[in-house]
Amino acid sequence: MKAKQRNALPSGSFGLPAKRKYPVDTPARAANAKARASQQKNAGSLSAAEQAQIDAAANKKLGK
């Protein structure tokens, strides 16, 4: 995704809207956000609460 496209997304289209990280605007990006969040949590770069927030946003987009 190019910066112009990313900047055009509303904050609600991100797993972490305050940081504008992990876009979940499409089902493919939502699935990717969940996978990346899991990787980052396992690496120690993401808290369990942040991962849960990303998963919740992604699941909403994925209809789960």
Burial (CB < 10 A; 0-12, 13-18, 19+), residue 7, is exposed
Give kind and range of the element (H or E) at residue 4.
helix 3-8
Per-residue pLDDT tens for 32-63? 999 999 999 999 999 999 999 999 999 999 99
Is 37 part of a structural domain of the chain? yes
Is 3 part of a structural domain of the chain? no
- Asked if residue 23 lies in contact with residue 6, where contact means CB atoms within 8 angstroms, the answer is yes
Is 5 part of a structural domain of the chain? no
Identify the pLDDT of residue 26.
Answer: 95
Mean pLDDT computed over every residue of the chain: 95
In this structure, how many other beta carbons lie within 10 angstroms of the beta carbon of residue 34? 22
Is 44 part of a structural domain of the chain? yes
- Residue 1 scores a pLDDT above 90: no
Is 39 part of a structural domain of the chain? yes
pTM: 0.90
What total of structural domains would you count in the chain? 1
Is 32 part of a structural domain of the chain? yes
Which residue segment(s) compose the domain that 31 sits in?
A: 18-62
Q: 64 falls in which pLDDT band (50, 70, 90)?
A: confident
Percent above pLDDT 70 for the chain: 100
Is 7 part of a structural domain of the chain? no
Backbone torsions φ then ψ of 42, nearest 5 degrees: -65, -30
Amino acid making up residue 38: S
